[in-house]
Amino acid sequence: MKNIENNHRINKIMKPVLPEVVKRERLFDLLDQQEPYGVTWITGPAGSGKSTLIADYLQKRDKPHLWYRLDDGDNDLFSFFHYLSQALGNIGTRKKNVPVPFLTTEYKTRVIEFSKRFFDYLAQSLKSPFIVVFDNYYAESFESIFQDVFREGVLRLIPGIQVILISREAPSNGFAGLIASNRLRVVGNQDLAFTEQETEALIQNETGETFSQEITRQIFETTKGWAAGLRLILIGITGHKGLPDSIAEITLDNIFDYFDSELFQLLSPQTRSMLVKSALWPRMPLTILTSFMSPIDIGSLLNQLAENHFFIERYGAGSGTVYQYHPLFHEFLKSRVPDYLDPKEKQAIQIQGASAFERLGWAEEALELFLQAGLYADYIRVLLKDSPTLIRQIRYQTLRKRILSLPDSVRLSNAWLNYWAGISYRFYSLAESRKYYELAFEQFKKTDDWNGTLLAWSGIVDMITYEFNRLSDLDPYLDWFKRHVKKNHCFDSRETEARVSGSLLCVLFCREPQNRDMGFWRKRALNSAACEDITVKISTYIWSIIPLLFTCPDKHIPRLRDKLNVLTENHESRLIRLANLWLRAYSFFMIDSAPAEAIEIASAGLDLAEQIQVPLYNGSFFVTGVMASLTMHDSRTADHFLKKLKDRLEPDQYYFMGLYHYLKSVRHFNTAEYESAIRHGETAAQIIQNTGHVLLRIMAVLQVRQAEFFLRPRLKCIGEVERLIHAAEKQGSPIIAHSARLTKAFMLLHLGRETKGLQELKTALTMGQKRGFIRFVWSWPYPIIEKLCAVALEHGLNPRFIRQLIRSYDLYPARPENVLKNWDWPVQIETLGGFRMRVAGRKTDSGVKTKAKPLELLELLIALGPKPVAMDKIMDYLWPDKDGDLAHASLKTTLNRLRNLLGAKELVLLNDNKIFLNYQICFVDLEMFERTIQRAYRENGPERDAWLERAVALYQGGFLAGGSEKPWITAKREEVKEKYLSAITELGIHYECGHQTERAVACYEQGLEREPGEEILYQHLMSICAKRGEKDKVVKWQQRCRTELQDRYAVKPSRAIQVIRERFG
């Protein structure tokens, strides 16, 4: 007896000893958040892991605690306080100087008073923080006196002590006050249920195996995270040979036995019968159950079962209440149907339920029951009625599943079922979708159903154009349409008109882009798109936009795209949002948008497509990623997208296979690998020719001609490009003709045909500016764009449009000295003649105190550049009085502030403890002046003079004139001035030797405007005037020289000035 007593005591006052269980960090974090709650009520059905969770939490978090397991024996309050005292005695952290009160007979009539005293003692003797756990609390198991004592005890413990109550029930009315005062929180069944990630961890922990993602998902969905269900299923797996491929392979006998013994057999026969009958329905609306189960008060019964966590979920309230069984319990009940119903009774209940659900408008439940009852005609009737709703809700997979649930003999003989099957596949399998559309098309024609025929026709041509593999397949369908449908055709609905008109637009774009009827059908499509069906609106806008992108991108595209964005950008359906991302990615090349944004769109599209398993648009996302990366000169990212595209290509994806080789050609061209560019370009042209995409083939051939010209420049290439211009114009694509015309201009200029080249360039740029051709179709090799932009700026051709191109393509000239300041630099810094800076076209105020130190750092980098400057050297110049650590911290802060001021981190680079400006992407007049001087000294004759003229034009005065006189500034100022004087003097002497006296005078006078105190320039001017016999001018220059030197330096002119004056006299 003593051993029995000891075992009982251990079970009551010791927390369960656990094996290694899955740590549920999500719930641990929830339990850690104790404020403002004093009581945490853990509630859930049997086997939901309530006690395991708390025991593991106490162990893993190492929480001091008291564990007490309640049972009906605690109705004997003497026993209750006895065992509670025993539990307290096992706690080593309690305060031991307080005497333990004992329940004696004197308190028998004053038990509430004693309970207050006992729990006050308990609260005082426990060292906070502390947790008291009461496990297995069920109000109906305890007498009212115990409940009063227990509730009073809990109130005495909080807030100093945390109390956790574990129960299958929700909190009873006695605890309503704690809930109202926000001192009691409930952790319920939804919290306790394992997540899919926790399920995966549990499987690994229990079996030591890693299941496939699909089988893990099936187990999770079957059990809904119910802990006992998970473990019982895993017990079934241990007896399974090898890892299962499906949940269907796992025996549920253990779970069903559990349900039968622990729950089902405890109910009355009438209740068991009711549960089995209702299990034939997928869900149980109270309104149907009331009439079906009369005279039983089914609502009260199910409410009672739900409150007791009897694996019944309850939704809604009042007459709108709906009940649903836990999936495993539902399967258990259905397995008991043969024990309670014969086949006729079963079918009668299914039919009765199906009819009732149909009257309620619950199509999904009605369809399930009609199918189970074998009433296919009723099933098809409800299915066809509900299909448009499913498509508006973007539930394509649900629609496909419903259609495929029918036997083939029933399904394939119905034209409308085949049509809706085609729709259900359109985002998942183009081939399957086209197959069903074609079957429906032939069936509709035989029954003279013109609305169905036109809708099926629309679906067929959409799938062919989506594939872009064999566009010649469109020809018979286009011929059929021309024969049977006139421009004034009256369609059955606006939805049909919008679908058919939009599809025709794409067919004409692919096969007859020059067709004059395209404008008419576009207008008709857009007018009819004002319908309720969002999928019709989206497809209409898409098919209206795409032909414009390739043929004539104009002001209509942003308007149409904005309308599409409003419809799709924040739509609840991920499939709709994916379509929006696809069009934004697709239109990047023809509409001026940031390439970095295009890469983000492409990446987001690929992520979303993988999440919802819709690969339809992946090719377009990869192409966008490649071209946007090349536009940003980011070859690494471009190669990443190219590899992804190649890895995903299927053998029959000719269109994207051709695009892959086209993009490889562009990639090789940009890195001057012209032979590889030609090889890939020719492969692309050959593959694309087989698809029938004329415009894309023109682009591929143009790419080949560009690469051939760079490899072997010759006039023959110009003639071939001219033919491409005519071909693009014939196909109604001015944007591709524009690209080819620019190529022709480049070739002419490269071959020295400057007059014709400039004329062709001006024509192309004028057209591009007028039509808004900022982006080009798919790509344009940026070496050609850079060259043409530089030439255009040099000759003043469409400068505003050129700067727009430069910004759009993020271009930087290969030889900046060729274009000087005319280029659209993101940052432009001038230091000659004073400090001036423009960032993104806006002037920066250098007088603001907060910008002083960053600008001083910038000036130092320019003065000591263009080579990198050591950080130690910078700290010595700018913070000479600070020690090393403080100076280093100041430099880092100042560097960050300078980068923010310039608007880009890549403008000021740090490498190997050296800092330098990135002169490739910013204009600095000093760096450009010195680079131009160096270029001049590498030339001879007229070229040398031309570069010297460019250099002296850049010099607007002394380095940082009017600013600080710090030694490093004055030293650089003198160095630059000497270079300027050397250049302008040499230039003037060249003019004198060439008998260009007036140009020489103008040159020296220009020098004096910049450096009025330089005597050498006065000497040259006085000598020229002396030779020309201009005595008054000699005197004038002598007097001005004397005045300037006296005022500036307080010195007299040198003897040389006097000698020239005397020689003249």
Averaged pLDDT for residues 979-1000: 89
The strand pair at 184-187 and 39-43 is best described as: parallel
Summarised one tens digit per residue, pLDDT across range 708-757 is 998 888 888 899 999 999 998 888 888 888 889 999 999 999 898 989 99
Task: Indicate the burial class of 74 (C-beta count within 10 angstroms; 0-12, 13-18, 19 or more).
Answer: buried
Picking from 276, 280, 248, 285, the residue whose alpha carbon sits closest to that of residue 368 is 280
Summarised one tens digit per residue, pLDDT across range 858-870 is 999 999 988 899 9
Which of 241-250, 712-721, 982-991, 1006-1015 is the least confident region?
241-250
Q: Residue 670: which pLDDT band, with cuts at 50, 70 and 90?
A: confident
Q: Residue 678: which pLDDT band, with cuts at 50, 70 and 90?
A: very high
Most confident of 33-47, 108-122, 252-266, 314-328: 33-47
For 342-448, CATH gives 1.25.40.10
Picking from 898, 509, 442, 932, the residue whose alpha carbon sits closest to that of residue 696 is 509
Q: Which residues of 798-817 are buried (b: 16+ CB within 10 A; e: fewer)?
A: beebbbbbbbbbebbbeebb
pLDDT value at 1 more than 50: no
> Are the C-beta atoms of 405 and 417 separated by less than 8 Å?
no
Q: What is the pLDDT of residue 5?
A: 43
Q: Which residue has the higher pLDDT, 541 or 761?
A: 761
Q: What is the pLDDT of residue 6?
A: 45
Fold match between 198-340 and 930-957+964-1064? Answer: no
Query: What span, in angstroms and rounded, lies between the C-alpha atoms of 1063 and 1065?
Result: 5
**Mean of the per-residue pLDDT values for the chain?**
82
Whether the ω angle into residue 269 lies within 30 degrees of 0, i.e. cis, is no
Summarised one tens digit per residue, pLDDT across range 486-515 is 888 888 888 899 889 989 988 988 888 888
What 3-state class would DSSP assign to 281? Answer: coil
pLDDT value at 777 more than 50: no
Most confident of 49-58, 473-482, 602-611, 778-787: 473-482
- Sketch the domain layout of the chain as residue ranges: 2-192, 198-340, 342-448, 571-646, 649-712, 734-810, 822-924, 930-957+964-1064
What 3-state class would DSSP assign to 249? Answer: helix
What 3-state class would DSSP assign to 277? Answer: helix
Cβ-based neighbour number of residue 440 at 10 Å: 28
Q: Residue 576: which pLDDT band, with cuts at 50, 70 and 90?
A: confident
Averaged pLDDT for residues 599-614: 86
Please say whether the structural domain 2-192 has been given the CATH code 3.40.50.300.
Answer: yes
Q: Residue 664: which pLDDT band, with cuts at 50, 70 and 90?
A: very high
For 930-957+964-1064, CATH gives 1.25.40.10
Q: Which residue has the higher pLDDT, 234 or 108?
A: 234
Averaged pLDDT for residues 117-142: 83
Q: What is the pLDDT of residue 4?
A: 36
Query: What span, in angstroms and rounded, lies between the C-alpha atoms of 192 and 57?
Result: 13
Cβ-based neighbour number of residue 429 at 10 Å: 15
Summarised one tens digit per residue, pLDDT across range 531-570 is 667 777 777 777 777 777 666 555 566 677 777 677 766 6
Q: What is the pLDDT of residue 355?
A: 92
Picking from 934, 974, 936, 982, the residue whose alpha carbon sits closest to that of residue 958 is 974
* Structure tokens given for 270: 């009438």
What 3-state class would DSSP assign to 425? Answer: helix
pLDDT value at 850 more than 80: no
Query: What span, in angstroms and rounded, lies between the C-alpha atoms of 114 and 98?
Result: 16
Q: Which residue has the higher pLDDT, 518 or 354?
A: 354
Most confident of 94-98, 616-620, 804-808, 847-851: 616-620
Query: What span, in angstroms and rounded, lies between the C-alpha atoms of 488 and 584?
Result: 33
Q: What is the pLDDT of residue 479?
A: 95
Query: What span, in angstroms and rounded, lies between the C-alpha atoms of 729 and 723?
Result: 10
Task: Tell me 472's DSSP state.
Answer: G
Q: What is the pLDDT of residue 492?
A: 87
pLDDT value at 819 more than 70: no
For 822-924, CATH gives 1.10.10.10
The strand pair at 312-315 and 322-325 is best described as: antiparallel
- CATH architecture assigned to 198-340: Orthogonal Bundle (1.10)
Q: Residue 484: which pLDDT band, with cuts at 50, 70 and 90?
A: very high
- Bridge-partner residues for 46, per DSSP? none
* Structure tokens given for 184: 């009691």
